[in-house]
Structure 1
């Protein structure tokens, strides 16, 4: 979710949801490293069934880390990814499933954000090189000291996109990694591993959610499965809640703000490149010359317990004297829906809502009033309800009150977010002054606020977006081609007469192919990842789509402090024009490029001792059992469709290492087969309920947890979740509001 402040807000308001991970370390005996035995009980005193890895959150920090020296080459990057996954496996120790999901081709709604990020990364990279060159000349010109300028090819992180050679190589390396661990690590012996690489369409976390939803609908699904999902994006919290699985935990690196980073010019810590003075570091001891080269301490991990978050939400959202029976599961869906308005990856947040200014608490207060007045929940089964309680799949009049209480313009000027000494960013809209709506539409859209037709067009697109996002979170991708075609959102007060404004999405839309997506999200500076004739479309002045690839573009700070928080004003890609241009260069693709441009399949791997291994081996011996249903009783209740792999990993067949520094697997015990989630056709509707037979985890919150805002953290045991002084803090209602907390009355 595109909400950098969301997790910070959530963990401060409900901090007992967070516990530190206990991590067992490997030992050394007589110079020999003894690895951790992950087959032993989990030291966190909780046993997990399934571990899901949102791989892009692992790939990026391992290939271009911000807090330590970057790997020297691609081989070192792959080894770093392996080591990171080993750490996670050691902490979580799943007993049934390990699911690795890499972002594949994304829906068009997401591609606009990807385009913005990649253009920014390219722009910032060029600007950094220019800034370093300028500052180096200034420092050396006045006699300052700088270490020799290493001539090193800059790693273009844009290669972490489906369709590139890097992603193709990563998939091969992960197949090797899986085979090695299944063959040699006792903790992997009985687990099922699913790899969904970049050739499989869909964002990583949403491929994981599709898997969970579809398994959940199977008769053999265990309703008490304990899920653990690894990832740093805030939307994982929403997605976990949306599953309505009672045992769902998220693992992520602990966020430590304001950590010192080495200067990109001199390598010393304590200042940024713009403040570098070119002063040689003073030696502090005998071995001080190695201080900067020493590895930094490893990041620690935390668990986010969604079962505890559900406790908090139940207490905060429970309403008495309702005209209908209170249904907490529907209220959870309503809360997830409300959070969309403060930001997500697909829609800009409403201009009058900011998390840092208490937007979510404000929405909750309005929500309670509206539910009491209308007697209606907002959403149902991942669709939005109308006042008549019929599912239209569209936003009705009711949700308007959820995010609009007549206060579009705020009464006070917003302060700079992170520093009292920094000047406020330029803000031409000035929502705190009369005339804010006219200034907003003129500044952001270059139209007059009295243009009702235009405002209605923006509102209609936003309404479609709300329906698309909600469907995406609960049912899957409703349309691969839909996107919000504006850089800014309308005001809440513009949402008038929207009933019937939207009916449904076009069925049967298909995702882009990988190389097509690269053309849609890459700047010309990253064209080296594309075939030569495709690349020319990005740079040739005579190209029919040259306007899609501006060399420079404006960034609107939009009231924010830093450029990365602003809005990149890039032109939207016209899909019809793009496809017409690509039709001319498609015949030039080589066989290898055609292969990288094709859509692939998930892979399922097990070890020799797994109960389904013999069944899969029989499929390969028969060579004709395509589309075979896997027997759930042989695989922890997992169901799906199996197909033969053309170049399979098979037991007793050596696996060659794609990384020279790692050994081949001479005694391979793993087997791999293509895997497809259970299929339901267009009629599948996810049941957003607690399943029959599910055991709700015991309550862990104490009275003091709520009153204190849960600032204490402990380990998995709930009784250790207090502050260190173990004192209760009593606040009156006004103090609660001042701190941003919602008062819950005794009734």
Structure 2
């Protein structure tokens, strides 16, 4: 569950938590959220369209080398756990589908901006998805790597679950506590997950030090226990779950963020200040959301919701170009800058914002729901609330509804959620299903251009049989987004429930 800007925000605010060395006590354990390593190794070989086997062999070899390089820089931890993404919940598949379809259009923009040659052939990075031939070859190499080291183990693509959640399950199942655990990974949600699992162990997030023009790779360690002590000085689990609930209102992989506040726009500071003053739990001791208290909390927050939306619209309307810093930007960043600013040129917020008066239009709330959500307000709020409980359950390792996802790209207004919860009961039921098979996930998340990666004939013809789910042309959702990299594909969601009904 990625949380945009969160890691950068934290290290700027709490730089002392980032250490060049970590303090070790007990057994040293290193856990890898592995998928980011694979992507980082793609540039280690040259692909020309004819050397597929050789290219993939080198990528797999480089991935294994870098795993060992990280291990050596961790201080040769005695125990190592490699976690590769398996089949993920539908809520995550939705995000993967939107991102993979967007990559096709981005490639066209890259040609337009002369970042990519018209006839340039590139390896399809969508192969880094459970169930492909490439992932099966990588799995075999990782198994061999683990067998060559004592104390190393692997959870591969053939086991369901996101890498970071596999790591948390691994930590929960440790027989002996009091360990020092390093978690290598780039997803910001690892910070929240690690805090939840740091009561009995000392945890650090391990990452490369990002310095421009630095020749040698060095690593930094983000002190999770230290951060937890800052965020929740008088720690108890309920207070941490309150914080996680608060973070859900700023957006993640499963629920979109409000257009009033994001982390970049001081949303974290605003909500956190209110949370510290609000002296009630949002989640009870059985990990159930206390909806009455959520209503009260949002009532305190929504006083600035309208002015926050208006301020965002003002700022976005004034943006004319995407600023790149020559000293820390690549040639790619500079050439693609005109594309990044397109959401400001589209300015879909004009539906609710009067550009002449620099203020929200009369009746903007009704327009927001009718134009951008197009459904019954109550239904949207109910589904959003289900998402809040689903996230808590997912974080603490409870059973979840694998088929659930939030079907819209916008969220209800905080003021409306608060009002709804004052007079309505939230009754959440889960329809527990087994996770899909890897090739079924491929059928859901891959665009037609990547269907060559599917080998199972049962799914090979899906784009032809169900063209509605595989549009060639589509737009982008840009409400509340300043830059193109933030925008999401506006395409039908091919859900796991629909796929089950077709089989």
Q: Is the structural similarity TM-score above 0.5? A: yes
Asked if the contact 1:54–1:204 (Cα under 8 Å) also holds between the matched residues in 2, the reply is yes
1:416-495 equivalences in 2 (<5 Å): 416=319, 419=323, 424-425=344-345, 426=347, 427-428=349-350, 429-430=352-353, 432-435=359-362, 436-446=364-374, 454-495=376-417
Change (3 A) 1:473 1:99: same
For residue 552 of structure 1, give the secondary structure of its aligned residue in structure 2: coil
1:247 has 2:229 as partner: no
TM superposition shift of 1:349: 1.0
Asked if the contact 1:104–1:162 (Cα under 8 Å) also holds between the matched residues in 2, the reply is yes
For residue 437 of structure 1, give the secondary structure of its aligned residue in structure 2: helix
Work out which of the residue numbers 478, 491, 494 in structure 2 matches 1:573.
Answer: 494
For residue 227 of structure 1, give the secondary structure of its aligned residue in structure 2: strand
Work out which of the residue numbers 148, 170, 194 in structure 1 matches 2:153.
Answer: 194
Work out which of the residue numbers 180, 186, 189 in structure 2 matches 1:232.
Answer: 186
Q: Which residue of 2 aligns with 1:308?
A: 226
What is the distance in 1 between the residues matched to 2:34 and 2:288?
A: 31
Asked if the contact 1:478–1:505 (Cα under 8 Å) also holds between the matched residues in 2, the reply is no
Q: Which residue of 2 aligns with 1:323?
A: none
What is the distance in 2 between the residues matched to 1:132 and 1:418?
A: 18
TM superposition shift of 1:561: 3.2
Change (3 A) 1:574 1:54: closer
Q: Deviations over 1:93-134 (max 9, x none)?
A: 35442110000000111110011111112332344346549x
For residue 367 of structure 2, give the secondary structure of its aligned residue in structure 1: helix
Q: Which residue of 1 aligns with 2:453?
A: 529
Q: CA RMSD in A?
A: 2.9
For residue 229 of structure 1, give the secondary structure of its aligned residue in structure 2: strand
Q: Which residue of 1 aligns with 2:288?
A: 384
TM superposition shift of 1:345: 0.7
1:178-193 equivalences in 2 (<5 Å): 178-180=146-148, 182=149, 191-193=150-152
1:346 has 2:254 as partner: yes
Larger Rg computed on CA atoms: 1
Asked if the contact 2:182–2:206 (Cα under 8 Å) also holds between the matched residues in 1, the reply is yes
TM-score by length of 2: 0.84
For structure 1, the 5+ residue unaligned runs are 22-43, 138-150, 183-190, 261-295, 319-326, 387-395, 448-453, 584-747
Change (3 A) 1:532 1:57: closer
Q: Deviations over 1:436-465 (max 9, x none)?
A: 323322331246xxxxxx111100000000
Asked if the contact 1:63–1:70 (Cα under 8 Å) also holds between the matched residues in 2, the reply is no
Work out which of the residue numbers 487, 498, 515 in structure 1 matches 2:439.
Answer: 515
Q: Which residue of 2 aligns with 1:397?
A: 292
Asked if the contact 2:403–2:495 (Cα under 8 Å) also holds between the matched residues in 1, the reply is no
Change (3 A) 1:129 1:438: same
TM superposition shift of 1:576: 4.7
What is the distance in 1 between the residues matched to 2:439 and 2:270?
A: 44
TM superposition shift of 1:298: 4.3
Work out which of the residue numbers 135, 140, 150 in structure 2 matches 1:172.
Answer: 140
1:6 has 2:6 as partner: yes
What is the distance in 2 between the residues matched to 1:527 and 1:241?
A: 39
Asked if the contact 1:382–1:471 (Cα under 8 Å) also holds between the matched residues in 2, the reply is no
What is the distance in 2 between the residues matched to 1:70 and 1:249?
A: 36
For residue 302 of structure 2, give the secondary structure of its aligned residue in structure 1: coil
What is the distance in 2 between the residues matched to 1:221 and 1:111?
A: 34
The number of residues matched between the two structures is 461
Change (3 A) 1:398 1:532: closer
For residue 342 of structure 1, give the secondary structure of its aligned residue in structure 2: coil
Change (3 A) 1:477 1:565: farther
Q: Which residue of 2 aligns with 1:111?
A: 93
For residue 383 of structure 1, give the secondary structure of its aligned residue in structure 2: coil
What is the distance in 2 between the residues matched to 1:558 and 1:64?
A: 34
TM superposition shift of 1:198: 0.2
1:136-155 equivalences in 2 (<5 Å): 153-155=121-123
TM superposition shift of 1:173: 0.8
What is the distance in 1 between the residues matched to 2:168 and 2:84?
A: 13
* Larger helix share, 1 or 2: 2
TM superposition shift of 1:524: 0.6
For structure 2, the 5+ residue unaligned runs are 49-53, 325-336
Q: Deviations over 1:254-298 (max 9, x none)?
A: 345xx69xxxxxxxxxxxxxxxxxxxxxxxxxxxxxxxxxxx834
TM superposition shift of 1:560: 2.5
Change (3 A) 1:52 1:576: closer
For residue 485 of structure 1, give the secondary structure of its aligned residue in structure 2: coil
What is the distance in 2 between the residues matched to 1:501 and 1:194?
A: 45
Asked if the contact 1:232–1:253 (Cα under 8 Å) also holds between the matched residues in 2, the reply is no
Deviates more, 1:398-407 or 1:226-235: 398-407
TM-score by length of 1: 0.57
Work out which of the residue numbers 16, 24, 29 in structure 2 matches 1:46.
Answer: 24
Q: Which residue of 1 aligns with 2:329?
A: none
What is the distance in 1 between the residues matched to 2:441 and 2:415?
A: 36
Asked if the contact 1:64–1:155 (Cα under 8 Å) also holds between the matched residues in 2, the reply is no
Change (3 A) 1:370 1:556: same
For residue 205 of structure 2, give the secondary structure of its aligned residue in structure 1: strand
What is the distance in 2 between the residues matched to 1:550 and 1:536?
A: 16
Change (3 A) 1:467 1:45: closer
TM superposition shift of 1:212: 1.5
Work out which of the residue numbers 405, 414, 421 in structure 1 matches 2:315.
Answer: 414
For residue 400 of structure 1, give the secondary structure of its aligned residue in structure 2: helix
